[in-house]
Structure 1
């Protein structure tokens, strides 16, 4: 048995090296070029349609929740505890230059996320409860004809449904360990998290949307404002921190203090992986949330995908990175303890009490939002595969995963998280590339009509 586990772990480690980077980053580059660099060319338009319309109701079209609620639901999944603890790990092993590659992947990956959302809206449908549902399982099966489409759709849906359980348990551990630092028992924090999650997800996507549209902006602002306070106090170090990011993206960095040094390959590897994990571009999860949105055109909703990469990676992850760099904490804390860097940086300015509360509170909110949404994602896979009745059974299983994770009862499943996630990503990226011509056609049609309407309004 142990031999089988060792083989699976070795395969997982290999898969998440060069192969997965080629599949995700290489695939995203192909999509970006095929779509005429849509996320760069139409970036101002995307920001007007998203940041500029946050407080406006969705107008026209059909859907279950507002465009903003769908976007915050997708963001709730992407913005997790790893935005706080994962970024310093990338810096510890890849150096400051890893941040540059993290930014680059967020921008390039927006091409994949744009494609996912366009297809998610195009191929969505109504379920038995009258709610809009969609995602890769629908556009793979309906968009790619024959057995290939069915196989890819089943593979994506089945492995995502399974992957969600240990993923939720792993998220639960973050809250439990954080709560334990202020003497809250594991069982109490685990049950509390399960109760809150249950109350939200049993209300369906409408309740999830109402919660995330309030929770996500608050938790992101709460953490970013705290980070800005650290950066402002160390403002004299900011130019040097930014210079380090760009310089060591292309040149090695020597060891200094507790920092062991890093080469260019390490900066690329850790920064790329951090960017991919951070914004979930190409993973196929975002369109599950976006398929529920009230929108008049797939491309308009896809602008929110570009917005998500900006918020998740270019704002939240960058806030963490700059906190770690301007305080110099990455040079004093060994790589094995990199996850503690943000907390130590906050405590250096605000003291152990307030600094600890900000980091602890942020991690708890980030985890709560993530668990709420990924439980919904898993439920939709169960619904697609086995119907709405079975999807409600999966709700119970996912809530049980929270409690089991708190007690540490399924640690062995964590070993398979990366492998399962790889088996989710591969069919989705294959589908995005095969269906890229449909995405391009919808994109061209939308912007051509937009230009035509503008020219008519000027006459």
Structure 2
């Protein structure tokens, strides 16, 4: 545990925090504070399009823009919002919430950049379906355009970091913990039922994921937010005090109180940043893979959905969780993870509150697990892109083995008595390495992103000049293909 804590502390220490914040600030300035000054446009092009979902669609793609973002939000709005945020507060104090917000505000433009680049550099497979993501823009942006021969090494390390979450996954464990403890069901029984549903959803591949997510994600998000808002409004008198604790704790740390052991400012920053990335995945390089399959007429238009995704995930859903935990004082109980969130809701609306959160955890976990299925599949498709037969066989094996590691984590927790806090340390470990590589790569490719933003502003916002001959997709430019 001590060694693991030191490694995670180093990975999520000053280098990675500076990299994420620095890249986010650079993109913010370089795009003219796009996520702030054009927030109305982002909202109009995303939330405002929910009833007009086919506007701005292109002709190529597996999913509609809405299905893509629903799958991505399903992959990010998950147990990290309930169990992860609670753990951040339990370990780093209320001040961790402030740094979670900061990471999310710059994370909006980081996610916008990685989604935009993933869509721009995507490739079509042998049947004409587009796929993209960090390994694709490493190959084309770094390898072909910048002649960097070491791109396969970066792609391998990135892919290995992402695939490590295939074995160290939090969703099944958190769902089993929340549902099992709430309803008095053995954790293993919940886990088995959970993986049966996962098999059912992924059986139809990525198009099936998009359809399920498009129906389930809006419902589960609204369901959870309304429950949290009810508690916040009910205890509105506690809101100013909770906000004061969050802001002061961000810069001074939090003293020991109740079952809370105390945390320094550095711990608050580390936990807030780590949980923000784990929750909204900005910079992680994951959701750009599913966004790359969307039917869109411009890469930046899909990038807007990426910014919207971070806003919904952290600024809305994670904030709801955080305020309920801090306002109720449950964070001083010594509990952590989903158990802490369950306790906070139960304190305010009784047993129904605990049941409500248990159901939310189940839905959030299910959409996260099935959403991540797509990420691994796209990595495998890129790895075996030159051998169609091997690719098809690998994907068949992968589909049948995908849910297995989740139940192994439950077995470790139940029979190996591995505590939840340790599992979350493993989660931090697996998110840090690919995030570091991906953020550095999009920083190197920033001229392409900034040019695409300029083109989008001129082409679709009437804001500045643009080159009408510029091809907004890499594969549509014969000069680049050659």
Alpha-carbon distance in 1 for matches of 2:247, 2:432: 30
Q: Is 2:21 the partner of 1:36?
A: no
Distance 1:408 1:152, change over 3 A: same
Judge conservation of contact 1:379–1:392 (CA < 8 Å) in 2. no
Q: 2:80 aligns with which of 82, 85, 100?
A: 82
Aligned position for 1:389: 393
Distance 1:37 1:363, change over 3 A: same
Alpha-carbon distance in 2 for matches of 1:284, 1:274: 15
Q: Is 2:454 the partner of 1:444?
A: yes
Q: State which drifts further: 267-276 or 313-322.
A: 267-276
CA deviation digits over 1:229-265, x for unaligned, max 9? 2112212112222233334333444444444444433
Alpha-carbon distance in 1 for matches of 2:101, 2:44: 21
Q: Is 2:220 the partner of 1:222?
A: no
Alpha-carbon distance in 1 for matches of 2:347, 2:445: 51
CA deviation digits over 1:73-114, x for unaligned, max 9? 111111111211222332233332322221111011112111
Alpha-carbon distance in 1 for matches of 2:222, 2:336: 26
Alpha-carbon distance in 1 for matches of 2:45, 2:379: 30
Q: 1:399 aligns with which of 403, 420, 428?
A: 403
Alpha-carbon distance in 2 for matches of 1:278, 1:11: 20
Aligned position for 2:341: 342
Structure 1 residue 417: Cα displacement: 4.5
CA RMSD of aligned residues (A): 2.6
Q: State which drifts further: 45-54 or 6-15.
A: 6-15
Alpha-carbon distance in 1 for matches of 2:61, 2:267: 44
Distance 1:199 1:304, change over 3 A: same
Q: Is 2:202 the partner of 1:165?
A: no
Alpha-carbon distance in 2 for matches of 1:316, 1:11: 29
Distance 1:94 1:209, change over 3 A: same
Q: Equivalences for 1:184-333 in 2 at 5 Å?
A: 184-331=185-332, 333=333
Structure 1: where are the runs of 5+ without partners?
A: none
Q: Is 2:13 the partner of 1:17?
A: yes
Aligned position for 2:469: none
Alpha-carbon distance in 2 for matches of 1:343, 1:224: 15
Distance 1:377 1:337, change over 3 A: closer
Judge conservation of contact 2:252–2:265 (CA < 8 Å) in 1. yes
Q: Equivalences for 1:344-423 in 2 at 5 Å?
A: 344-352=343-351, 354-386=352-384, 387-408=391-412, 417-423=427-433
CA deviation digits over 1:186-240, x for unaligned, max 9? 4432232222111211212211011111111111111111111211221211222
Alpha-carbon distance in 1 for matches of 2:408, 2:251: 44
- Aligned residue pair count: 446
Structure 1 residue 64: Cα displacement: 1.5
Judge conservation of contact 1:160–1:381 (CA < 8 Å) in 2. no
Q: 1:148 aligns with which of 147, 150, 153?
A: 150
Q: 1:55 aligns with which of 51, 54, 68?
A: 51
The SS at the match of 1:144 is helix
Distance 1:177 1:244, change over 3 A: closer
Alpha-carbon distance in 1 for matches of 2:405, 2:27: 36
TM-score, normalised to structure 1, is 0.89
Judge conservation of contact 2:90–2:260 (CA < 8 Å) in 1. yes
Q: State which drifts further: 255-264 or 58-67.
A: 255-264
Aligned position for 2:97: 99
Structure 2: where are the runs of 5+ without partners?
A: 385-390, 466-482
The SS at the match of 1:250 is helix
The SS at the match of 2:149 is helix
Structure 1 residue 429: Cα displacement: 1.6
